Amino acid sequence: MAEETIFSKIIRQEIPTPLLYQDDLVTAFRDIAPQAESHILIVPNKLIPTVNDLEQDDELTMGRMFTVAKQLAKQEGIDENGYRLIMNCNQHGGQEVYHIHMHLVGGQPLGKMLNL
């Protein structure tokens, strides 16, 4: 079984964090160390350590992450000018918390890449 993460505690609000979105599949909140004017994390409520651990049953959750990203980008007012969606996988991919998550980043020109 995967180890509990800080994201699991945020999802259950054991670590009080203002949530931007939550339903039965995913939760979204602001990144504690933002890399741009708008930097939101979208995480599945189910603990899935890495993209390599995804199963066919997780497809609905992954799709929900993208539709929530679209909704939040509009709410943040960054949908028109553009934004970036980033998912890191494992150490070489830059993953720091082993609970998959999507970074929604925007609100300014981002250049070619960000170091998340």
What are the catalytic residues?
Answer: 101
Angle at 106 between CA 99 and CA 98, to 5 degrees: 10
How many helices (H) does the chain have, and how many strands (E)? 2, 5
With contact defined as beta carbons under 8 Å apart, do 26 and 58 qualify? no
| Amino acid (1-letter code) at residue 38 | S
Query: H-type helices in the chain, by residue range?
Result: 6-11, 59-76
